[in-house]
Structure 1
Amino acid sequence: MGCNSSNQELQAQDQKINSFLQNVNHKILVMSGKGGVGKSTVATNLAVFLSNQGYKVGLLDVDVHGPSIAGLLGLTGLRLSTIGDQFQPYHYSDNLKVVSIQGLLDQPDDPLIWRGPVKIGIIRQFLADVNWGPLDFLIIDSPPGTGDEPLTVAQTVSDCQAVIITTPQEIALADVRKSIQFCKKVNMPVLGIIENMSGFVCPSCGNMHAIFKSGGGEKTAADYNLPFLGKLPIDPGVVTAGDAGQSIDTLTSHTKENMQHIVEQLLHKLPSKPVQQRCGGGDH
């Protein structure tokens, strides 16, 4: 009886997940085989820049043990509210909704000491029991590696595609190649590779310094016949903005232009689909 009840609950949850995903045009998993490459910063700014263009965007942080999205958007300490049996996402703007495990913690620095099954359960719950509404894009920020979280997304989110983040040096690229192989094994198309921390523009002299080398991400994309979406430099302004809970669109540096170029490349790679209601329409 207990097993039957559990199966029925899973089937009911599957139905809710599928119902939500049918109302999402594009699902994108932002991932990397290595930590510390700026993956959450890129995922956050992809979501912000897409929403600034009028697209309805959901940003889901499935990095259970090290959630960064709330801090990058100035949402730390704010609890996710519920209405009935549904979580209400943060409304960062009219076009951007955000969900992170950070919103369920009593204290922002509380650790979550969870094994795989619990992590899988919360990711599924964030897909099934959140009032997302129809979306043009669901951007999913995952932790480093190829473990429970990206695997759960691959197995649960239909038509999901990956954007892989790397830094230029070989030690990062070795892990990125694992991410590419992961995507092949789970049949997840790779939309492209982004090379982050690609050179440092000196604020004094204006010269570019390749602190972590440069071009490794572009070469890896070419080696695997994958699109290369662009480069982002090391920019002290990005660090300052992130610590202040602000996105790259508040900057006046070339980094903002580079991010916009990456978004344009991403949109160009996507198959054209009818978009949801934009610029103030639909569910807020």
Structure 2
Amino acid sequence: MMVNINLGNIEFQMKKWHDFSWLNSLGKIFCVFSQNDSGNISFGIDDGKERYFVKVAGLKTIESVRTPEEAVASLKKAMLIYENIKHPNLIELVKHYSLGEIYIAVFKWTEGDCLFDYWNFEKYHNNPQIVPPAKRFKQLPLKKRIKSVKVLFSFLSTVAKRNYVAVDFYDGSILYDFSTDITTICDIDFFRKKPAINDMGEDFFGTKRLKAPEEYVKGAVIDEATNVYTLGALLFSFFGNFTDADIQRRYDENAFTPCSLEKWELSKSCYDTVLKAVSVDRAARYASMDEFFIAWDKAENDSPGKYGTSGQLGQK
């Protein structure tokens, strides 16, 4: 059974009715994200001076794969991650608190489009004239995409230095502002402190489009080499071309497969660099994010045309 919720000009569905009048104290709602499987529901709020992203756990949302109690526990635990990992391109936590049985986290609003906005896929299917953010990103000049990638290198390097591993990090964790070309990381809720292991087997958090082999094996170590693989898979997504059948094969076979060199947009040296990052053999990958970046930066800047910009790990 679904319940329709109407908050002025904002409408969405839930499994159970909830009185959202408490949101009025924060400001005016201008958007809602109600289809997350995490069990959270989020709102864009404008208080007249600032805009905020408000994440709420503990309600019966329509797509949740968790109980409200599990969602609350998870969001509470995630707050320490946001407090411990500081980066210029990470969404900024303002405050978090309990309100009855629900838990609320308030972040500063960041402009941008999610690079995997699955809640809009039906809209894109019904309106083929609308270009999804992921496709718009792939249409950007190489130089702009490379600049965005350097932000990801910088962020994941910071994650490692703060003694964390990135879990469930994918294109759905990334916002890109097409007007300013700023890349923002918007969701790190499932990151874990080192040492970390896969305690869930095949169902370990993450999309099969990008998961490393060890993220399917219960008891396997999840570490910086895992994050190297994840970023390598993302780079193939950003600069490689895949058919729908190629993507479906990852789900069917529980394995990421890189594209061929012929379907790669950058140089062979860049291709070989990223190919090493997604080695099935963990020992064959780069041992750290910094080592991966050094190899990437060299390959990119040694390439004909030099489509990027050399130097330090990128930020805003």
Is TM more than 0.5 here? Answer: no
TM-score (norm 1): 0.27
TM-score (norm 2): 0.25
Q: RCO (CA 8 Å, sep 6+): is it higher in 1 or 2? A: 1
